[in-house]
Amino acid sequence: MTDAPRTPHPGLARSPFLAAARGEVPSHTPVWYMRQAGRSLPEYLKVREGIGMLESCMDADLVTEITLQPVRRYGVDAAIFFSDIVLPLKAVGVDLDIKAGIGPVVASPVRTLADVEAIPDLTPEHVPSIVQAVGQLVAELGATPLIGFAGAPFTVASYLVEGGPSKEHAKTKAMMFGAPDVWDALMSKIAGIAATYLRIQVQAGASAVQLFDSWAGALTPTDYRDSAMPYSRRVLAAAGELGVPRIHFGVGTGSLLGLMAEAGADVVGVDWRTPLEQAIPLVGDRAVQGNLDPTLVFAPTEVMTARAAEVVEAGRRAKGHIFNLGHGVIPSTDPGQLTALTDFVHGC
């Protein structure tokens, strides 16, 4: 595989999403939604019936169909590749599964340097279905950009150390504070895997990438700067060499937004807890993404759109603004509300 991405569709030059991500003036405020390809769509539930999550993520045709579903339904300005942040680990042989109602569960949590050394580095040969799916998607999407993604090192490390989702991240922090050599080895390993995974997606045709750090909000700014940010910086720097916009998003990261920007983001995702007018000065000369409260789609449509108008107006003060929810689409969301929301923002 060469270092150069495939030739992009000529229509991508007019993409509002890519223009906003690069700090240019788009034709309209672009919209996409985290977890737009997923559990809120009846067509998704139909095609996923009886098929496990990771099995779904490794079926190129199914990934293609699921990724396209919200683009067809909502008319969003970008597609997000349907996958999971632990898929690269599964691909290299880590014994894990995604259990319904729980999330990723790791059979043998990482505790020692030997455990880290047992995790292979990712190569394109580990993920042929990903290469195939991305290629199929960009052929179908045409002028609509595809966003590739990976999990940030801290979040992925937390799953590996805890053995699954955690509210306290106690084992993770115990390693971070008490076994810095193991922590550095683990975070370096994950950073390498994430960088390779993003490169594979971009070389296959993805037009942008997002690095998800779902659990970074569990860290103080000092601990994030010292023990997480250097590894995310490596991933984002590697993605930057590919010439595509880089989005960096975390949950509960209001106190970390400046650092997340410094880590190498072109666009900083902001969750719903931090108003955009507060976030924009923190991220510097960068675009922002977000950040309507995901629960507002359950309010009356006029309430939802009034709040969305406030987000759009606040976003005009940024170098660029991509409208999104402040976290992922909630499974019980009415797809009709997201259609109405998309149409409203496009008309602002």
39 among known catalytic residues? yes
3-class secondary-structure state, position 232 = helix
Mean pLDDT of the chain: 96
- What's the pLDDT tens digit per position in 132-180? 999 999 999 999 999 999 999 999 999 999 999 999 999 999 999 999 9
Q: Which of 35, 199, 246, 286 is catalytic?
A: 35
Q: Give dist(CA 322, CA 129) in Å, integer.
A: 29
Q: Give dist(CA 18, CA 12) in Å, integer.
A: 8
Helices (H), the chain: 16-21, 42-48, 53-57, 60-74, 87-91, 113-117, 128-141, 153-162, 170-178, 180-204, 221-227, 229-240, 257-262, 276-283, 301-315, 335-347
317 among known catalytic residues? no
The predicted pLDDT at position 269 comes to 98
The predicted pLDDT at position 2 comes to 42
What is the per-residue DSSP string for 70-108?
Answer: HHHHH--S-EE----TTHHHHHTT--EEEETTTEEEESS
Backbone phi and psi for residue 149, each to the nearest 5 degrees, phi listed first: -155, 165
What's the rounded mean pLDDT across residues 67-81? 98
CA-to-CA dists, residue 156 to 148, 175, 211, angstroms: 17, 14, 11
271 among known catalytic residues? no
The predicted pLDDT at position 8 comes to 85
159 among known catalytic residues? yes
Q: Which of 39, 225, 233, 307 is catalytic?
A: 39
Percent of all residues in the chain with a pLDDT value above 70, rounded to a whole number:
98
Q: Which of 33, 44, 74, 159 is catalytic?
A: 159
The CA-based dihedral angle spanning residues 206, 259, 221, 31, taken in that order and rounded to the nearest 10 degrees: -50
Tokens representing 56 are 């779904």
- Above 60 in pLDDT, residue 326? yes
Q: Which of 33, 48, 266, 271 is catalytic?
A: 48
Q: Which of 59, 84, 97, 223 is catalytic?
A: 84
Distance of CA 152 to the CA centre of its chain: 9
- What's the pLDDT tens digit per position in 187-233? 999 999 999 999 999 999 999 999 999 999 999 999 999 999 999 99
The DSSP letter of residue 24 is: -
Backbone phi and psi for residue 26, each to the nearest 5 degrees, phi listed first: -80, 165
Lowest mean pLDDT among 100-104, 116-120, 332-336: 100-104
Q: Give dist(CA 292, CA 304) in Å, integer.
A: 9
Other CB atoms within 10 Å distance of the CB of residue 38: 20
- What's the pLDDT tens digit per position in 305-316? 999 999 999 999
Find out whether 41 and 82 touch, Cβ atoms under 8 Å: no
84 among known catalytic residues? yes
Find out whether 284 and 261 touch, Cβ atoms under 8 Å: yes
Handedness of CA 244, 249, 254, 256 (dihedral sign): negative
